[in-house]
Amino acid sequence: MTFRQARWDEPLLWDREPSDDDPRPVGEIPGLPTAMRRKARVDWPEISELEVVRHFTRLSQMNFGIDTTAYPLGSCTMKYNPKVHEVLARRRGATDVHPYQPEETLQGSLELFWRLERALARITGLPEVSLQPAAGAHGEFAALLMIRAHFREKGELERRTEVILPDTAHGTNPASAAMAGFQIREIRSKEGRVDPGELRAAVNDRTAAFMLTNPNTAGLFEPDISEIGEIVHGAGGMLYYDGANLNAILGITSPGRMGFDVAHLNLHKTFSTPHGGGGPGAGALAAGETLAPYLPVPRIVKRGRKFALDYDRPHSIGKIKTAFGNFGLDLRAYAFILAHGEEGLRHIAHRSVLNANYLGKRLGTVLPRPFQTLVKHEFLLSGAPLRARGVRTLDLAKRLLDEGIHAPTVYFPALVEESLMIEFPETESRHELERFVEAFTRAVNDTPENLHAAPHNLAVSRVDEVEAARHPVLSRKDQRAAAKLEGALPDAAPR
Ligand SMILES: Cc1ncc(COP(=O)(O)O)c(C=O)c1O
C-alpha cells in the first residue's frame, strides 16, 4: 500500500472569497420578533452548507486518525472506537438531557452511571467508583486530594508530605502529586521494574503514597507487587494504581486484588471511547474501604427502585467537575463493557498481550529490545544504534508517517536511550501487524538523508516543533500576526 496524504491549499472559511451565487443570502427572517433580531452583523463567513462540508472533509483528509491508520502509541492505547457507540450516544435520550434537570427526570442517565460504576467496581476489585474525573490525570489529582484528606483526618498531613514514584512513571503522576501539594521522590528501577530494596529504603513516616502502574510503562508486569504493597502499607502510606494500562490485565487480575487502595481508569483507552487532541476523556476513580469516603460528590445511589444524587458525604473532597461525569463517554464505555461481557473483556487482555509479544519478537530483530522478556500490552525498542548513521528516533518516527502509520510514542520512558514505545491494541489485526513490521523495517533501513527530511508524503512536512510549542498559531488572530511577521499580509487589523 502506497500512502499519500491529501495536500489541499485550504484557506480558513473567513479568508475565502464569498461565493457570488450564495444560495442562502442573509436576510430578514419573516416573523422573527424585533426583540430577537441582532443589532449588529455577526462576523461569520457567508457560505453554503456544501462549501462547509467540503472544507471540513478536506481538512480531515490532511489528518491522521484511527479510522484510516493504526496508531501504535505506547501508553496512549489508541484503539478502534466502535461506530455503534456513536449511534447510541446520539439518541435523544442521551443528547436531550441536562445534568441539572430534576433528579426524577434523570432516572435513565443515573441508572446508566450507577450500572457502569458497579461494572467498574467489579473490574477493578475496588468497591466504590466515581465517574466524575474528566481524564486520567484529573483522576490522579482527585485521588491525591483524597489521600491528603485522609491524612488530614488522621492528623498526619503535616508529616506525610512525600509521594514516591518509580522512574518509569508517566509524567502526569509526578505532575498531579506536585499539584496536590506533595513532594516527589523518584526511585530507580532495576531491569525496568520496581526494585523492592530501593522502595524499602525510600519509604518512611513522611510517605503519603506510592504511585504505580502495573504493568508499567515498559510493558512489564511488576511481579513483586505483594511485597511492594507490604512495604508501602507497612510505612503507613497509600498505594495508588494508575489504570491507564488496564488493557493488559482486564478480567485476569485487578488493582484490588493486587492490594491497591485507589485507582484511576482511562475509559478513553481501555474502554474504547474516543480521545485525542486533548479530550474529551473520562478518568473513573475506584477506591477501597479506606479512601472511599473521600470520593467526589455527588455519589450516585440507588434507593429502592429510584436513583439519586447523594451529596451527604461529610468526608468527600467535594465536587471536581461541573456535571457528574462525561456522560457521552460513560455511555460508550458501558456499551463496550456490555458488548464484550466478562469473557470478551478477558479476551481483550489476551489479544493485546499477544499482539505486543508477537510484534516485539519481530521488531526485536530490527532494533534492540532493552528488556528481552515476556511483556504485557506494550514494549520498548531503542533507536540508539541509528545514531552511528546520524539518525535519531525522531527521524524514524517521522519516516513512519510516510508509510501511512502513526508514529509510536518516542523518548518515553526515559530509562531507555532513544526509546520507542509501541502498543498495538487488540483491535489491530495480524495483517496490520505485518504491515507495520514491513514499514518499520523499510524505515530503519532508509538513507539518513531521506530519514532526516521525512515526512515526504504528508500534507505538512517537518515542522519546527520547538517553535510550534513556543509560538503556537491557534487562532485567526495568531495566524495573521504570524503572516504579518513574515511580511505576507498588509497591516490589517484582525477581524
Ligand atoms: C500511564 C499513563 N498514566 C496516566 C495518563 C494520563 O491520562 P490522561 O491523558 O487521560 O490525562 C496516561 C496518558 O497517556 C498514561 O499513559
Tell me the pLDDT tens digit for each residue of 360-410.
Answer: 999 999 999 999 899 999 999 999 999 999 999 999 999 999 999 999 999
- Looking at the fold, whether 184 and 198 belong to one and the same domain comes out as yes
The percent of residues in the chain predicted with pLDDT above 70, rounded, is 95
- Are 139 and 183 part of one and the same domain? yes
pLDDT band at 298 (very low <50, low <70, confident <90, very high): very high
In a domain, 24, yes or no: yes
Q: Flag whether pLDDT at 190 surpasses 60.
A: yes
Pocket test for ligand 1, best of 75, 140, 165, 172 (most atoms within 8 A of CB): 172
Whether residue 312 is contained in a domain is answered as yes
Q: Answer yes or no: is 475 within a domain.
A: no
259 and 391 both lie in a single domain: yes
How many CB atoms neighbour CB 300 within 10 A? 22
Sheet holding 409-410, edge to edge: 379-382, 419-422, 409-410
**Distance from Cα 83 to the centre of ligand 1, integer Å:** 24
pTM of the model: 0.91
Look at residue 401 in the predicted model and tell me its pLDDT.
95
Predicted pLDDT of residue 482 = 75
Beta-sheet pairing, 285-287 with 262-265: antiparallel
Q: For residue 213, which atom of ligand 1 is closest to its CA?
A: 1
80-117 pLDDT tens trace: 999 999 999 999 999 999 999 999 999 999 999 999 99
Ligand 1 shell residues, CB under 6 Å: 75-76, 135-137, 170, 172, 213, 217, 242, 244-245, 266, 281, 283
Average pLDDT, the chain: 92
* Concatenated DSSP letters of 92-146: HHHHS--TTS-GGGGHHHHHHHHHHHHHHHHHHT-SEEE---SSHHHHHHHHHHH
322-338 pLDDT per residue, tens: 988 999 999 999 999 99
What local confidence, expressed as pLDDT, does residue 485 receive?
67
Region 239-255: what's the mean pLDDT? 97
Residues 94 and 31 in one domain: no
Write out pLDDT tens, residues 403-416: 999 999 999 998 89
Q: Helix/strand/coil (H, E, C) string of 158-224?
A: CCCCEEEEECCCCCHHHHHHHHCCCEEEEECEECCEECHHHHHHHCCCCEEEEEECCCCCCCCCCCC
Q: Is 472 among the domain residues?
A: no
Let me know whether 276 and 307 are in one domain.
Answer: yes
CA-nearest residue for atom 8, ligand 1, is: 136
How would you classify residue 138: left for phi > 0, otherwise alpha for psi between -120 and 50, otherwise beta?
alpha
**Residues 289 and 360 placed together within one structural domain of the fold:** yes
Question: 140 and 25, same structural domain?
Answer: no
User: Both 151 and 24 in a single domain?
Assistant: no
Cell representation of residue 175: 505532575
User: Residue 253 and residue 221: Cα distance in Å, rounded?
Assistant: 11
Q: What is the pLDDT of residue 200?
A: 98
Q: In Å, how far are 40, 242, 269, 397 from 135, measured between CA atoms?
A: 40, 12, 10, 26
- Asked if residue 485 is part of any domain, the answer here is no
Q: Above 70 in pLDDT, residue 19?
A: no
How many domains does the chain fold into? 2
Domain of residue 55, residue span = 13-61
Is residue 165 a part of any domain in this protein?
Answer: yes
- Kindly state the DSSP code that residue 493 receives in the 8-state scheme: P
Looking at the fold, whether 420 and 304 belong to one and the same domain comes out as yes
User: Is the bond into 11 cis (omega within 30 degrees of 0)?
Assistant: no
Q: How far is the CA of 245 from the centre of ligand 1 (A)?
A: 9
Please report whether residue 3 resides in a domain: no
Lowest-confidence segment of 167-181, 210-224, 272-286 by average pLDDT: 272-286
Q: For residue 436, tell me if it sits in a domain.
A: yes
CATH number, domain at 432?
A: 3.40.640.10
Question: What pLDDT, on a 0 to 100 scale, did the predictor assign at position 164?
Answer: 98
Task: For residue 56, give the 3-state DSSP assignment.
Answer: helix
